[in-house]
Chains A and B, each alone.
Chain A
Amino acid sequence: CYTNHAEADQNDMDSLLTQLGVAGVNYIMGVPGADDVMLNYQSTSFHDALYLRRVLGLRAAPEFETWLQLQGVVDEVGTPITDARLPMLQDLRAFLAGQTP
């Protein structure tokens, strides 16, 4: 991650991410669209994690991938599902509307 008063940008994140992946790192931190809106700095995005797995031919941790499949986020080989009808989105919408699930 990097702040806006440091000499860094998202190109540096791409380089660093790829180097770390090749070096065998097995966990990276992600935030939506690489923008941490609470802490006011930037990191890598969930998209970046998918890129890294794809370019290195890796899958998610087995228990995480099983959970993603149960939630309807990815298919049986770990590819994101294009038109996901995600039950958790319905639950979230109901929660925001003040309804108990």
Chain B
Amino acid sequence: MNTAPTLVAIEAPSLMQELAARTPARVALGRSGVSLPTAAVLGFGLAHAQARDAVHAVLDVADLRAQLDAENRAVVEVRSQAGTRAAYLARPDWGRSLDAASRARLEACAQGRDCELLLVISDGLSATAVQRHALPLLRDLWPRVQNLSIAPMVIATQARVALADEVGECLRARVAVSLIGERPGLSTPDSLGVYLTAQPRVGRSDAERHCISNIHAAGLSYASAAISLHALIDAALRSGRSGVQLCPTSKPLNIGNIKE
């Protein structure tokens, strides 16, 4: 009788497993032959399915609106030219432009006035991140920027980062900040990113922005992000610049976890 040899998964050394508890990374998985053990393969498949679902989660705009109303913040809702999530994923350029009705709504709202700071809550690639983390972050930020003139809060759906450029242009803001869901990974479905652009207008490049990334329970705290964001807002208002222009040398702004 010809039986195939039995392969039993080899476990990682116990010290490695102990150290593995310190990181969300998939280390100390052991092996079967030289391949991943079945348990690791199945766990990965489940995580992948969950991450794929997270991309398609819909932002509960009504809930965000209610919370903002409770804080006495005026709200304007806008959407991009991407009519569906499928269109949004296939056409990033559509996600960077406002639909006609949204543009008209914003222009009516601006009433010819400038403002210093615009905050846009954008679904991006993770509605979950925004649903969970945008308001707590804003609550930490608002007291720090209460001396600034702030535009009505904008909630943007099917939104890419650059949509905030057009919103900022319509509302005549000197600094536009987009709080946006970052792409869901296997371990982190709710990572929030914050993008800041000085003198927002259509056509700004990513080199002209600053980004604070990975705001979530296992990442950057709301307080750290708010402190960094506040410092960036101040620097952008003073200099009129953001992105590589704001840090012309390699010496970083000493304000925490900033990426240019």
Interface residues of A (CB under 8 A from B): 3-5, 9-10, 31-42, 45, 47, 50-51, 54, 80, 82-86, 89-90, 92-93, 96
Q: Hey, which chain B residues are within 8 Å of A93, CB to CB? A: 15, 18-19
Q: How far is the CB of B255 from chain A (nearest CB, A)?
A: 21
Cross-chain contact B27 with A80 (CB below 8 angstroms):
no
- Number of A-B residue pairs with CB-CB distance less than 8 Å in the complex they form: 95
Residues of B near A54 (CB, < 8 A) are: 33-34
Once A32-B27, A33-B40 are accepted as A-B contacts, the answer to whether A4 and B188 lie under 8 Å apart by CB is: no
Tell me the nearest residue of chain B to A31, going by C-beta: B25
CB<8 Å pairs between A and B, sample of 13: A4-B48, A4-B51, A4-B55, A4-B184, A5-B125, A33-B26, A37-B25, A40-B183, A40-B186, A41-B185, A47-B29, A54-B33, A86-B16
B125 touching A35, Cβ below 8 Å: no
Report chain B residues within 8 Å CB of A32: 25-27, 29
Contact A39 B13 (CB under 8 A): no
A49 to B162, CA, bound (A): 38
- Residues of chain A with a CB closer than 8 A to B244's CB: none
Contact (A47, B52) CB under 8 Å given A32-B25, A40-B191: no
Instruction: Report the bound CA distance from A37 to B216 in whole Å.
Output: 13
A96 and B25 within 8 A (CB): no
Interface-centre pick from B18, B27, B48, B184 (highest chain A CB count, 10 A): B48
From known contacts A33-B40, A35-B186, A40-B182, infer whether A47 and B26 are also in contact, taking CB-CB under 8 Å: no
User: Given A33-B36, A84-B13, A89-B16, A40–B44 Cβ distance below 8 Å?
Assistant: no
Q: Cβ of B15 and Cβ of A33 under 8 Å apart?
A: no
Question: Distance in Å from the Cβ of B51 to the closest Cβ of chain A?
Answer: 4
